[in-house]
Homo-oligomer: A and B are copies of this chain.
Amino acid sequence: MQTSWNFEGGTAQQSMSTKSKVYEEILDQIKHFIKENKLSPGDRLPSERELSEQLQAGRSSVREALRALELLGLIETRRGEGTFLKPYRTYHTVELLSAFILQETKTRKDILSCKAIVEKEAAKLAYSKMNEGVIEELESVYSNNGLDPKKRYEQFFIIIFKKADNYLLETIWKLLYDFSSTMEETNYYNQSFYIEILQAYKKKQFVSIEAQFMNN
């Protein structure tokens, strides 16, 4: 077991910094600690009690700081085991914030419009990386009559987003998709849409992709 954690001296109570709250100060210290000890995802942090002792702060304050890190998706706490660094997931925050944004944006129009935009651009991003294999994949989804319209739509775009190779864009789409699913009277693309998109990919007609998406 590791015993000496090599914290930079000084209490968290109140240093000269501008931080008015202890937990904010602790946040910095923990950040510094991670850097100093070169911790990587999966590594364990000192226990709450140890942190509170090393930083000369109450355990509750340490917990508030950890809670913040957890909310940001930077650490993971497992009862009985400890606190661990999580692999960087930049978009966890985006997800969180988006959840709030979407909750307040009741405008159905906005959501559908955004979703169409994202899908269109993904289709365009995927264009340059399109190859025979992927086109066949898309075609098999399209011609699979066992799928209901929603499933077909979903699987079709999942393939496209994978090729588009922009994880953030994909995350945004998923959020919009999930939210739009909860709305009544959701319309999916019709047959001709898929045909035209596939045509554009096959015959390498970049410009015609744009036309397939309705704006607003």
Contact = CB atoms under 8 A, between A and B. Distances in A.
Interface of A: 23, 27, 31, 60, 63-64, 67-68, 71-72, 74, 88, 90, 93-94, 96-102, 104-105, 107, 109-111, 113-114, 117-118, 121, 124-125, 166-169, 171-172, 175, 215-216
A215 B64 contact: no
A105 B168 contact: yes
Contacts of A64: 63-64, 67
B169 A215 contact: no
B175 A110 contact: no
Copies of this chain present: 2
B71 A101 contact: no
B96 A72 contact: yes
Contact of A107 (B23, B111, B114, B167): B167
A102 B60 CA distance: 28
15 contacts: A31-B100, A63-B64, A64-B67, A67-B68, A68-B71, A72-B93, A88-B101, A101-B171, A102-B168, A110-B166, A113-B125, A114-B168, A114-B172, A117-B117, A117-B121
